[in-house]
Every structure is written in C-alpha cells, then in structure tokens.
Amino acid sequence: MLDRFGTGLKDAVKKLAGKSVIDKAAVDELVRDLQRVLIQSDVNVKLVMELTTTIKKRSLEEEPPKGMGAREHVLRIVYEELVHLMGDEVEVKLESQIILMAGLQGSGKTTTTGKLARFFQRKGLRVGVICADVFRPGALDQLSTLCQKVNVPCYGEHGETDAIGIVTRGMKELAGTEVLIIDTQGRHALEDELIEEIIALNELSHATHRWLVIDAALGQQAREQARRFHEAIDIDGVIITKMDGTAKGGGALSAVAETESGIVFVGSGETINDLERFDPDGFISRLLG
Ligand code: GDP
C-alpha cells in the first residue's frame, strides 16, 4: 500500500502507521499533508477540498472491513478516493471507430494523432488519418511525415482553409479504414470560431469518440478549456501529453472532472511510439511524489 503513494506522502503515511489510535487528529494531519502535496502538483483547489472532505468523512464514519486494521482502512480510503479523482476507466475498443481530436495549439494534438494511428495499427486495425488543422501552417506536413513512417494513409489538402470540405472529401477517400482519426485545428485561445468549427466537424463526421488533448504542464486553465470543449462536443476522454517532462499532470485532472470522463492515454515523449495507456497507480505515485 505504501508504494502506491509516492514519496511526497510517504512521511505522512509513516506518521499514520506509527500512531496507536487513528482518531480525528490523525486523519486531519494526513489530510493536511495530502492537500499540500496535491496543490503543489497543480490539482485544482476545489477538487482537492472535495476529495479531502470525503476522505475525512469516510475515515471517521466507516467501520473497517473484518480483518482490516484502522490504519490500513484509512489508507485504502485515501487510495480509493484518489483513483476516483482520476475519473472513470476508459475502455479503448479495438473496433471500427471515428476519433475527433480536440485541444489548443501546442497541446500535442498532431503528435498524438500520429501516436494513436500507430497504436491502432499495431493492434491490427486499418487506420486512416485526416488533417483538418487549417490554422497551423506545417500541421499537414508534420502529420504526413509521421504517418508515412508507419505507412498509415493521411488525407489533407495544402492551402485549403475549409476544414469541413477537407473532412468531407477525406472521409470519402478513406472510406475503407476501420479507425479514422481526425486532427483538428487548435488555436492559442478558446476562440468562438474554433468551437463552432469543431461542433460542425463533430456533426459531419459522426465521431464515436471526442478526445481532448491536454499538456501535463497546463495548470488551472485546463478546467476552462475542458468546459468549453465539453459543452461543444461532449468530450469522452482526456489524453495528457508530455508526461515525460517534470510536470505532474495534476491540472489535467480538472479536465477529467469537467468532462466527467477519464484519462485514455498518456503521452510520454516525442516519438510515435511514446504513448501509454493510463495507469492510475503510476499516476498517483507521481502526483504525490
Ligand atoms: P499541436 O499544436 O497540438 O498539434 O501540437 P504538436 O503535436 O505539434 O506538439 C507540440 C510540441 O509538443 C511538439 O514539439 C511535440 O513534439 C511536443 N510533444 C507532443 N507530445 C509530447 C510528449 O508526450 N512528450 C514530449 N516531450 N513532447 C511532446
């Protein structure tokens, strides 16, 4: 159990382990340490407060199951509530699907599109990619290069500014594919045009998934981004990129809460293979590390 908590909370957990009784003071102390560590890791303050209120309440009210000591019981509650904070487990089905990528510029959306294409291809599915990022010059070349490396067809039109037209034609062109991934434009800010376009692309493509890409280093702004995208297209999964950096990804948890979804994948580097399925234990340990 201790291993799951990361170094930042190890001392607090040890303190708890040394106590002969687990009373309100002991729980309060643990909760304070937990709050400090989570806020340092960029987790939204409101989320932290909700989490710790539940932990306190459950720790003081629930009886430990038969055969479980009070300390272990409290630690289990802390762990369960942290897992709850990570959102639902998102199943990635290996079947035909259309994935619409959402996120602001620089979040890692195009790179992640290439990584996802690789992921599904390795699972034996026929994959195709459409580049509907008409905002960032170079996006199409970047995505084409990524796709060429792994032999995945990539549809795009140099110089075309109408994303709807590109996706309409791209879907025809790639009609035989099982997994279709559509990379969309991202801007520096949440402009109305961006939101209107992604709503139209969602309707046009009948996307089965709408995944939001969030940079691990994004702090409190993650919440607003997630809220706007979720309102627009009903986000059903979050991908946290750049987890190979120093950021702990705590900000992205507010995106998970806003969208009432879960973390689908984690980006762990710049190459096409640097994509991992989400592992709650690893994430918690890092968040509290
Ligand atoms: P977009 O504007 O959202 O399409 O962003 P890009 O896909 O172009 O990514 C922006 C930058 O982040 C690029 O330099 C990528 O190589 C880098 N990047 C994306 N994902 C990751 C990741 O998981 N780890 C690291 N270290 N860099 C990443």
Position 234 scores a pLDDT of 98
Position 206 scores a pLDDT of 98
pTM: 0.94
Mutation probe of ligand 1 site: the residue of 147, 188, 241, 266 with most atoms within 8 A of C-beta: 241
Position 3 scores a pLDDT of 64
Q: Which residues contact 53 (CB under 8 A, 6 or more apart)?
A: none
Q: Please tell me if the CB atom of residue 44 comes closer than 6 angstroms to any atom of ligand 1.
A: no
Position 21 scores a pLDDT of 76
Position 2 scores a pLDDT of 57
Which residue's alpha carbon is at the smallest distance from atom 9 of ligand 1? 108
Which residue's alpha carbon is at the smallest distance from atom 19 of ligand 1? 108
H runs (alpha helix) in 150-251 = 163-173, 192-205, 221-233
Arithmetic mean of pLDDT, 164-176: 97
Mutation probe of ligand 1 site: the residue of 100, 111, 212 with most atoms within 8 A of C-beta: 111
Q: What percent of the chain is modeled with pLDDT above 90?
A: 77
Which residue's alpha carbon is at the smallest distance from atom 13 of ligand 1? 108
258-274 pLDDT per residue, tens: 999 999 999 999 999 99
User: How far apart (Å, rounded) are the C-alpha atoms in residues 239 and 265?
Assistant: 5
Q: Please tell me if the CB atom of residue 280 comes closer than 6 angstroms to any atom of ligand 1.
A: no
Position 188 scores a pLDDT of 80
Q: Calculate the dihedral angle through the C-alpha atoms of 45, 47, 49, 52, rounding to the nearest 10 degrees.
A: -130
Arithmetic mean of pLDDT, 87-107: 95
Phi, psi of 231 (to 5 degrees): -55, -40
Q: Is the Cβ–Cβ distance between 223 and 173 less than 8 Å?
A: no
Q: Please tell me if the CB atom of residue 231 comes closer than 6 angstroms to any atom of ligand 1.
A: no
Query: 288 CA to middle of ligand 1, Å?
Result: 25
201-221 pLDDT per residue, tens: 999 999 999 999 999 999 888
Query: 60 CA to middle of ligand 1, Å?
Result: 44
Buried b (16+ CB within 10 A) or exposed e, 11-48: ebbeebeeeeebeeebbeebbebbbebbeebbbbeebb
Q: Assess: ipTM above 0.90.
A: yes
Give the residues across from 132 on adjacent strands: 184
Arithmetic mean of pLDDT, 151-172: 97
Closest ligand 1 atom, residue 139 Cα? 4
Which residue's alpha carbon is at the smallest distance from atom 16 of ligand 1? 270
Query: 106 CA to middle of ligand 1, Å?
Result: 6
What is the enclosing helix (H) or strand (E) of 29?
Answer: helix 24-40
Average pLDDT, the chain: 93
Range with the poorest average pLDDT among 17-21, 79-83, 143-147, 236-240: 17-21
Position 289 scores a pLDDT of 79
Closest ligand 1 atom, residue 136 Cα? 2
Q: What percent of the chain is modeled with pLDDT above 70?
A: 98
Q: Please tell me if the CB atom of residue 115 comes closer than 6 angstroms to any atom of ligand 1.
A: no
Q: Is the Cβ–Cβ distance between 2 and 10 less than 8 Å?
A: yes
Arithmetic mean of pLDDT, 66-78: 89
